[in-house]
Each structure stands twice: as structure tokens, then as C-alpha cells.
Amino acid sequence: MPRSQIKPILGVCLCTLLALACSGKARENPAPVASTASEPEAPLGAPLKATLASAPEVPPPSGRHAPAKVVVELEVREVVLPIADGVQYTFWTYGGHVPGRFIRVREGDTVEFHLQNHPDSKMPHNIDLHAVTGPGGGATSTFTAPGHQTQFTFKALMSGLYVYHCATAPVGMHVANGMYGLIYVEPRQVLPKVDREFYIMQGDFYTVGKYREKGAQPFDMQKAIEENATYVVFNGSEGSLVGDKALHAKVGEKIRIFVGNGGPNLTSSFHVIGEIFDRVYTEGGTKFQENVQTTVVPPGGSSIVEFTVEVPGTYIIVDHSLFRAFNKGAIGMLKVEGPEQKGVYSGQEVDSVYLSDKAQTSNALERAAAGLQQGTLTKEAQIAAGQQLFLGTCSTCHQPDGRGLPNAFPPLAKSDFLMADKKRSMGIVLNGLKGKVTVNGMEFDSVMPPMSHLTDDDLANILTFVRNSWGNSGDAVSSKEMADMRAGTARPPGAGH
């Protein structure tokens, strides 16, 4: 806040203190509040307990026309949760999930904040709320050891959508483990009512294993320092807003999304494919911009976007830095139901290939991952997982039915070339292929890019699927075989790993 506004408040506080000391009459004469307040200060009344919400839910509007005393209780928990199918990560959370619970108060409220650190925690934590005016945003008052709780009180002087986060050293690591959330301070003049409000917060994560490498994945400090994210996701995990967990709305409804970015490193280019934001309260502040395609949300920053859904269908929510969306997890979905609006949009439904394997929450992938971990992986489970992965990875070129496209992409269905040499096919997916090949009597002279960014088990599952579909029949390819192949061949220039 501008200095010029802080001073008068400090002045008022000082006067109040003096008045208290001299007359003891402060109770009957509540201090006139701050120059920022356009309404007269009403008595706060009995304290209210804040209702918090877990993403993608947002707590209901306060509905109040006067400030109140609001009590917020937030519990820090260190929990193991999936960050992707079959990949576990130890998140440090405000309330058990990433992002932290959504807090909603009103401008002028006095917030009594309680931070609890669960006894099972291994680390001390604190909280810095960007909505707080005061040193550390609360961090200096809330250093909380495991099994302890702390308390401080602040006045929500400024309306807006604010990030809160942990500020315990190493701060970057606490934030990288998921310690962030949003607090919305409603303006005195509330925003117009909408049909649905959602909470989406982006974050980047750094694991020792590569993207989708199965099992428990520890935090990688060096990757975090280099800002080389393994995952970039909405609401704490890949797939948190996809398939069964997609957001829902009806044609004609007005949607408001409270967007946050916990970072710690990457600035989000928040975009909803096929929509234009009617209004964007840039950086979560009071002014709005209209007719916006993509809004920038920096780490430790926010944005409030509003739009009306005119046409039914599935809208894909992305960070428009697209490799993050398609190769690191930053994809969500908004499913809109209702009558067609051919005048606005006539056309095909969303292309499932484009959505790739993210279109469904994938039990097949989970089952295969669990099987691999427990040593019980069957060929059938590999085929099921491989089918899903094939749709996301290979089918754009080789086609969903494996028949390829003449003169462009060779067939995998009944491919004599594929089935003649298992090892060669493993080498092709890992390292790509270029030059003349003859498949089923047809000649191809093109380039297939290396697929080495995929994990060994994903590649093994895909090949097992391909080698046992569309009339092909062969043995399974194991993740071990793929690993040996990877270790035994130099990566060509441009390949991922």
C-alpha cells in the first residue's frame, strides 16, 4: 500500500493508544478507522468463524455490509499424495491439500489468525499473507513448531485477491512443496454476482525422477534452483481438474475463477482454450481489463477472471507455455452442458487425440504403475496402460487405429517391419527413426522424433500395446528391457534424456 495511506492509519492507532492510556474510555469510543474506510466503522460484533474451502471450491460470499471480527484456523500438514498417476510426493500443505484452503474475508474485517502445525509434521512452518500490512505479512508472528499453534491479528485494509505462503527457511523449498493458497478480501463494493466461482492455483514442482517416473519422488533442490520444473500443475497434481474432476457449468452461466500462482519459479500464462475473458482483474487488484485471451499470473500473484460460457463442450484450461500443459501437467477442463448454439459455434466436438491421455483420469495407468511397483504387472495391464499412452503420444501420427497415413506415417497395424525385430522397435521409440523404410511393401522416407522424454515403463507399456493390437501378436516389453536399451545407446542430439 502507498506510504501516504499507512501514515494516517499509524497516526490513528497512536492516537487511540494514547486515548486508551489517558482516559480508558476507548470501548465507548471506537477509533474512527483509517482514511481508506469510506463507511463509518461499525462495531465488530461477536467473532465469526471463517468458512474455508478446498480447491476448486470457493467459500460463499460473506454477504455482510459491515466489517466483522473473523477467526481463521489453518492447520499445516505434511502429507504424501499423488502428483501424477503412480507418482507420490510429500507435500507440505495448509489444510491437507495443495493449494491451501481458500480464505474469504471482507475489507475492513479484523482477522484473528490461528496457525496450527500438526504433531506429525517434521518441519516448523509459518505464514506470510500478502493481504497483511505488517512485517513479514504475519511470518514473524507465526513461526510454529510441530505440535504447536500460534496466533496473530490483522486488519484487512485493502481488498483484493492475495497469495499466502510459507516463509520458513529455506523459503523456496517450503513453497516448492506446496505451501501456498489464496485469501480473498472482498471489496466493500462487492463484485457482481456470478453463477459459479472456482479456485485454481498453479505451482511448479521439482522431483529427482523425470516427469511421470513412478514411485515416491523426492524434492530436487538443484532442479528447483535451475528452475527446471518436472511438473507444472493446477491444484497440486496432474489431473486434478480433468475427467471426473473437471469443473462443470451450464450454457449461459457466468463463471468467475480466482486464479493464483504459488510458483515458486514460473510465471503462468493462464488461458482457457475457446473462451475470452469478459473481465480480468489484473494481478488480483481492483481495476479490470476487458476482452482478454491470456492473463499473466506471476509467482506470488493472482488474477480474477470472468467469462460467460455460450457454447456447450469441453474447455481446456492451460498455462499457455504449452510444453508445461502437454508435458508437465498444466491442464484442466471445464465441461459445459446445455443446448447447442450453432450461431456462435458450429463444429466438431473436442478432439480426443488433442486432449491426449489426460482426457480421462486413468485407472489403467494407476493399475500398471501399482503392478510394476509390487512386481505383479501383467501383460494385460501393460496393454491397457499402453493403449491410453498411445492415444496421447503416438496416435497423432500413426492414427488411433494404427493404420498410419499413406506417404506420411507408416502403419503399426500388421506391420511386418515392427514385428520383425523387437529390439529395433525399442530403439525406434527411444531414439526416433529417419531415412528410407519399407513397411508392408510401402516405402516411407521421413522422420520420427525420439520419444525418450517418456519413462521406461511408459515406453514398455506402449510397445507392449502396439505389439499386441490390430492383428499384431508378440511378447511383452518390460521396463527393465527399455532401461537397458536406454543405458546402452547414446542419446542422439536433441533427445530428451
| Binding stretches for ligand HEC (CB under 6 A) | 393-394, 396-398, 409-412, 415, 417-418, 425, 428-429, 433-435, 437, 439, 444-449, 451, 462, 466
Instruction: Round to whole Å and give the CA distance between 98 and 204.
Output: 12
> What is the β-pairing status of strands 180-186 and 149-155?
unpaired
255 exposure class (CB count in 10 Å sphere: 0-12, 13-18, 19+): buried
Residue with cell 480474477: 304
Q: Which of the choices ligand HEC, Cu ion, none does residue 263 contact, using the CB cut-off of 5 to 8 A by kind?
A: none
Task: Using alpha carbons, list the distances in angstroms from residue 173 to 137, 205, 318, 390.
Answer: 19, 10, 25, 35
Shortest reach from residue 416's CB to ligand HEC, in Å = 8
* Contact by Cβ (8 Å): 331, 200: no
Length of the chain: 497
Shortest reach from residue 84's CB to ligand HEC, in Å = 18
Q: Which of the choices Cu ion, ligand HEC, none does residue 313 contact, using the CB cut-off of 5 to 8 A by kind?
A: none
Shortest reach from residue 467's CB to ligand HEC, in Å = 9
Instruction: Round to whole Å and give the CA distance between 128 and 168.
Output: 9
Q: Which of the choices Cu ion, ligand HEC, none does residue 174 contact, using the CB cut-off of 5 to 8 A by kind?
A: Cu ion
Helix, strand, coil shares of the chain as percentages rounded to 5? 25, 30, 45
Q: Which of the choices Cu ion, ligand HEC, none does residue 53 contact, using the CB cut-off of 5 to 8 A by kind?
A: none
Q: Which of the choices Cu ion, ligand HEC, none does residue 415 contact, using the CB cut-off of 5 to 8 A by kind?
A: ligand HEC
> What is the β-pairing status of strands 103-106 and 128-129?
unpaired
Residue 157 or 179 with smaller CB distance to Cu ion: 179
User: Closest Cα to residue 223, out of 214, 232, 233?
Assistant: 232
Q: Which of the choices ligand HEC, Cu ion, none does residue 434 contact, using the CB cut-off of 5 to 8 A by kind?
A: ligand HEC
Shortest reach from residue 404's CB to ligand HEC, in Å = 6
Residue 63 or 441 with smaller CB distance to ligand HEC: 441
Residue 166 or 454 with smaller CB distance to Cu ion: 166
Shortest reach from residue 444's CB to ligand HEC, in Å = 4
Shortest reach from residue 473's CB to ligand HEC, in Å = 15
Work out whether the CA dihedral 376, 384, 382, 350 comes out positive or negative.
Answer: negative
Which residues would be at the binding site for Cu ion (CB under 5 A)? 125, 166, 168, 174, 179
